[in-house]
Amino acid sequence: MASPAMERTGFGAIHDSLAEAKDVAGGLPDLLIEARRVASTVIAGWHGRRIAGRGETFWQFRPFMPGEAASSVDWRRSARDDHFYVREREWEAAHMVWLWGDLSDSMIFQSKLSSVTKRDRMLVLILATAELLAAAGERVGLLGESDPLLARNAAERLADFLARARPRRPVLQPLRRFTDVILISDFFDPLAETEAMLDAIVRTGARAHLVQVVDPIEETFAYRGRTEFIDPESGLRHIVGRAESHRDEYQARLAALRDRLSTICRRLDWSFLVHRTDRPATEPLLALHARLADRHAATSAAPTGRAA
């Protein structure tokens, strides 16, 4: 039987979780509107895959090959010269993209150099990506929170799941070969933990896209004089007398982290983006669009090497 102290501790944890969930849920309607505004700038279309297959959109004519059915010949085009041609259509099969956003306390950070928290920007990117994918007829889901959705209102439905979500590491069981997964975080966890997660994704055969969201002050380290730093995860406090004296070391460690993550992603034909919250949310969304739009790359055989 639990002691009164343990019961109070458990109740406090539940209360904190509920408060955090309500905080996330309270801001989601406005963030969903913002996400749709961001998505509208790049929603020109996602179906074009430049691969032959089943679909309704004409892609190209190609020469008729011996052994093919005569019914596949485009007689109108073939009548123009002495060769037979086949009309090919673009492959417009729905693709599966999984999304995950870091809901940990470190993402709540916001300095005076930015108008939004890292968490709010992450949520906007998650919902805007879902809006863009849904408009293109793609399947989308939240890792560990939802089943795959193939619906025009996928972003709105994912917002409902996010309102009840809890901070946790990505649940990788749904990942399969040839699927894409977009991971949005500050990636300030210990590097060994991140590498272990990426290595697990490699084994699933999925293709990952990492978006590191940072506050501008986390990149510039524009602190001076006596400064108190507080770890949002553990509550640990650390006071330094001259913060500016640590700037070079801090920026070197940040550069090393990014170099390691980008090296892993480049080696695996994945992608790694850095986004500052003082920049427009359209920038990473456009970059993700460019990487996901190439259906051939997305469905090619995934690397089999280890990430670490």
* C-alpha to C-alpha distance for 171 and 157, rounded to whole angstroms: 19
Can you read off the two tokens belonging to residue 222?
């524009």
Q: What are phi and psi of 184, to 5 degrees?
A: -120, 120
> Each residue of 246-287: pLDDT tens digit?
999 999 999 999 999 999 999 999 999 999 999 999 899 988
pLDDT in tens, 107-166: 999 999 999 999 999 999 999 999 888 887 888 999 989 998 988 889 999 999 998 888
User: Nearest CA to 47 among 37, 55, 38?
Assistant: 55
With beta carbons less than 8 A apart as the criterion, state whether 50 and 296 touch: yes
> Is residue 198 helix, strand or coil?
helix
Model confidence pTM above 0.85: no
3-state secondary structure of 48: coil
Contact 193, 173 (CB under 8 A): no
Question: Strand, helix or coil at 87?
Answer: strand
Specify the fold of 28-47+94-298.
Rossmann fold (3.40.50)
Q: Which structure tokens are listed for 268? A: 């695996």
Say if CB 185 and CB 109 are below 8 A apart: no
CA distance 180 to 117: 26
Quick: pLDDT tens for 186-225: 999 999 999 999 999 999 999 999 999 999 999 999 999 9
- Write out the residue limits of the CATH 3.40.50 domain(s) in the chain: 28-47+94-298
E-strand stretches of 118-205: 139-142, 180-185
- Tell me the pLDDT band of 298, cut-offs 50, 70 and 90: very low
Structural tokens at position 231: 């770890």
Q: What is the pLDDT of residue 107?
A: 95
